[in-house]
Structure 1
Amino acid sequence: MGVRRGPLAYGERVQLTDRKGRLLTVMLTPGGVTQTDRGFLPHEAMVGLPEGSVITSISAKAWHGLHTDAEPDASGPLERDRAKPWKSARAVGGWQYTVMRPRMEDFILSMPRGAQIMYPKDIAQVISLGDIRQGMRVLESGAGSGAMSLGLLDAVGPEGSLTSIEARPEFARVAMGNATVYYGGRPAWWNLLVGDFDTRSVELAEGYFDRIVLDMLDPWNRLDSAYRVVAPGGVITAYITTTTQMSRMVEALRKSGHWTEPEIQETMERSWKADGLAVRPEHQMIGHTGFLVTSRAMAPGQEALHRKIRATKDYTTDIDQMVAGSGGNQDLESLKLRDISDRKLRRVLRDLDREIGTIDRNSTTPEDRGETRG
């Protein structure tokens, strides 16, 4: 289950890329054939080739000529052509593809999924900001389709371990299936548990994990359980998608006293196009997908140090509740945000009055100002 080198073989996933940059990922199987809108690609033609080879599609007629003794089944390309005759008209062949083993990013974006996956840009940031390295013990909540799990498995390697807790059994099956296909076998350093995070985390040893990754709707409700199983100095990283979730997570980390001042990150991804001197960004980009909130665990009995926020602004009181309270307008007045001191405000108004006066003097004639020429 290590790095695959040498000629392509059956049982491997390969990525096909045509001259227009369109991608197609397939699993090589004995007797298999992949149908495209430009012809057929027999898998036997790719087996034995080195990565970086160029293959050419063939027409339906040519494929049938190579398999005159074959009995096409209901899922074969010839039977599908009878059901959809326009595909036969387009399957003219002669279209070239480059064949490679997919990178992890390619595999993640093309693998079967049951739940929405985390984008590769966010996976890379989780591993970097969370300082997840070879040999570490990592706890993950929310395996989903296994995208983040694959990144964590690669980061810790067989010398480390990944424990994932997934609430839905069907998602756990999808995640393990994708990992098995990616590695060519079930990764032995992955312990995938099914069930509720609070329930299953009780079974885990106290202070055992070096890093924790939470990808769930309410990670702030899991901080006590996470603190129990993480080692002092361990890093927790939460992937959350909305600003309200991010705010609740940050405030919960601060309030608990067990975690250092949280850091918040967001990553944007934009590709560029270079064609001679025509160099410009692509029209589409991957913008906001989620926030990453990271923090570190304090030693038992130690209170986290947090930056003091100046009390000139009230960030926490609900305005609707204050207006509805007995204080009425007086309560609302107390909530007004004072971004500027009274002294500074007087200075600003004085300077503006002086500048306005200068404008008035320059915009009138001497006669308007009562001045006469000598």
Structure 2
Amino acid sequence: MTAIGADLRRGPFGEGERIQLTDPKGRLHTITLGAGKQFHTHRGYLAHDDLIGAPDGSTVKNTAGVEYLALRPLLSDYVMSMPRGAAVVYPKDAGQIVTMADVFPGAVVVEAGVGSGALSMSLLRAVGEEGRVHSFERRADFADIAMANARAFFGLDHPAWSVTIGDLVEELPEVVEPGTVDRVVLDMLAPWECLDVVADALAPGGVLICYVATATQLSKVAEAMRDKGAFTEPNAWESLVRGWHLEGLAVRPQHRMHGHTGFLITTRRLAPGVTPPLRKRRPGGGYDVEVDEVEAWSPEALGERIPSEKRVRRVRKTVTAGRVTTTVTESSPS
């Protein structure tokens, strides 16, 4: 039996596939192949028919003689160029989540929220067809975009994935039995509000990992984990990725890098009735300032970029109808 999506990763290019073109300056262009279509730039155009049926890793010249390298995008390439409503979890963080949360084949994973589906696809690859990913998203439009992106990548609706529209606190007890979830991934504004239902759902030893954008969120969720008394001492970190320029003797770090995108914090579920060992040193108290919680933890207050409703509607309409337009991204300048 062929694994889900494996047939789309092998063989010659086919009509309807998304491929990645790299020009002589290293600029990336992601296109969806269609019979009779053309890819235009200010320096000529090339026919999609010249690529349909060609093997992965081919080169093709446009009408002006400019040569492009054609490759199938890796998952890390795909999530950075796919249509998006909400911001995506960067590959550097998705890789950390899958590894540090020990997401294994056959695992039962709960994810909230879905965003544009970038992390969901990494989780689905990790659990395989025998596992299960239960995703929860408050916004139906974001969920539609995420499911369309995953469908385009895997070639079908992944059988291990279910998406529930609604609030995690209200919906999770209706979807899973207590103590049956292996891993929980929370990518939301206020993950501390979900710790009660997460603790009930996690099996003893199960991992909870949260992705938060700011140090204030990180501090608050860490203190909430400790106060809950059902989890081990949390660990937190961030990852920074800097590429290197490689050209002859000019081997040096690139001027631009993927810096701070978010913090990751992990903890594990203790067995029922077990209390965590007493810590030898207690840190300073958490945030006790009286603030309007609704206002304090809004996306705007935390500095997040909020997509306009018009843009989300346009992306949702495009991806659900299968009309993905050409997306152009550029490699980091060195």
TM-score, L = length of structure 1: 0.74
Distance in 2 separating the partners of 1:53 and 1:172 = 35
Larger radius of gyration: 1
Distance in 2 separating the partners of 1:319 and 1:259 = 22
Instruction: Give the one of 8, 21, 40 matched to 2:13.
Output: 8
Distance in 1 separating the partners of 2:29 and 2:134 = 32
**Structure 2 partner of 1:32:** 37
Instruction: Give the one of 213, 221, 228 matched to 1:249.
Output: 221
**Structure 2 partner of 1:98:** 69
**CA 1:277 to 1:206, structure 2 compared with 1: closer, same or farther past 3 Å?**
same
**Structure 2 partner of 1:263:** 235
**Structure 1 partner of 2:124:** 153
Question: Where is the helix percentage greater, Structure 1 or Structure 2?
Answer: 1
Q: 1:304 Cα deviation (Å)?
A: 1.6
Unaligned stretches of 5+ in structure 2? 291-334
Distance in 2 separating the partners of 1:270 and 1:320 = 37
Instruction: Determine if contact 1:265/1:292 at 8 Å carries over to the other structure.
Output: yes
1:27-50 CA-to-partner distances (Å, cap 9, x unmatched) read: 112222222222212111101100
Distance in 2 separating the partners of 1:11 and 1:112 = 16
Identity, % of aligned positions? 45
Instruction: Determine if contact 1:246/1:291 at 8 Å carries over to the other structure.
Output: yes
User: Relative CO higher for 1 or 2, CA cutoff 8 Å, sep ≥ 6?
Assistant: 2
Distance in 2 separating the partners of 1:13 and 1:160 = 27
2:247 counterpart letter in structure 1: D
**CA 1:159 to 1:123, structure 2 compared with 1: closer, same or farther past 3 Å?**
same
**Structure 2 partner of 1:49:** 54
Distance in 2 separating the partners of 1:106 and 1:121 = 12
Listed as ranges, the matches of 1:162-173 within 5 Å are: 162-173=133-144
Distance in 2 separating the partners of 1:195 and 1:285 = 36
SS state of the match for residue 5, structure 2? coil
**CA 1:232 to 1:320, structure 2 compared with 1: closer, same or farther past 3 Å?**
closer
**CA 1:306 to 1:253, structure 2 compared with 1: closer, same or farther past 3 Å?**
farther
1:184 counterpart letter in structure 2: G
Distance in 2 separating the partners of 1:48 and 1:223 = 51
1:192-244 CA-to-partner distances (Å, cap 9, x unmatched) read: 11111111112021111100000000001100010111111000000001000
Q: 1:319 Cα deviation (Å)?
A: 10
Distance in 2 separating the partners of 1:154 and 1:193 = 19
**CA 1:10 to 1:237, structure 2 compared with 1: closer, same or farther past 3 Å?**
same
Q: 1:57 Cα deviation (Å)?
A: 1.1
Q: 1:317 Cα deviation (Å)?
A: 7.7
1:266-316 CA-to-partner distances (Å, cap 9, x unmatched) read: 000100012222211000111111100000000111112252216xxx722
TM-score, L = length of structure 2: 0.82
**Structure 2 partner of 1:336:** none
Listed as ranges, the matches of 1:262-281 within 5 Å are: 262-281=234-253
1:156-182 CA-to-partner distances (Å, cap 9, x unmatched) read: 111111110000000000000000000
**CA 1:43 to 1:317, structure 2 compared with 1: closer, same or farther past 3 Å?**
closer
Unaligned stretches of 5+ in structure 1? 59-92, 322-374
Please tell me the root mean square deviation across aligned C-alpha atoms, in Å: 1.6
Distance in 1 separating the partners of 2:136 and 2:178 = 16
SS state of the match for residue 243, structure 2? strand
Between 137-146 and 26-35, the greater mean CA deviation after superposition: 26-35
Distance in 1 separating the partners of 2:69 and 2:12 = 14
Distance in 1 separating the partners of 2:202 and 2:288 = 38
Instruction: Determine if contact 2:84/2:116 at 8 Å carries over to the other structure.
Output: yes
SS state of the match for residue 256, structure 2? strand
Instruction: Give the one of 221, 224, 233 matched to 2:196.
Output: 224
Q: 1:251 Cα deviation (Å)?
A: 0.4
**Structure 1 partner of 2:332:** none
**Structure 1 partner of 2:331:** none
1:79-106 CA-to-partner distances (Å, cap 9, x unmatched) read: xxxxxxxxxxxxxx22110001100010
**CA 1:319 to 1:231, structure 2 compared with 1: closer, same or farther past 3 Å?**
closer
Q: 1:2 Cα deviation (Å)?
A: 3.0
Instruction: Determine if contact 1:143/1:172 at 8 Å carries over to the other structure.
Output: yes
**CA 1:307 to 1:185, structure 2 compared with 1: closer, same or farther past 3 Å?**
same
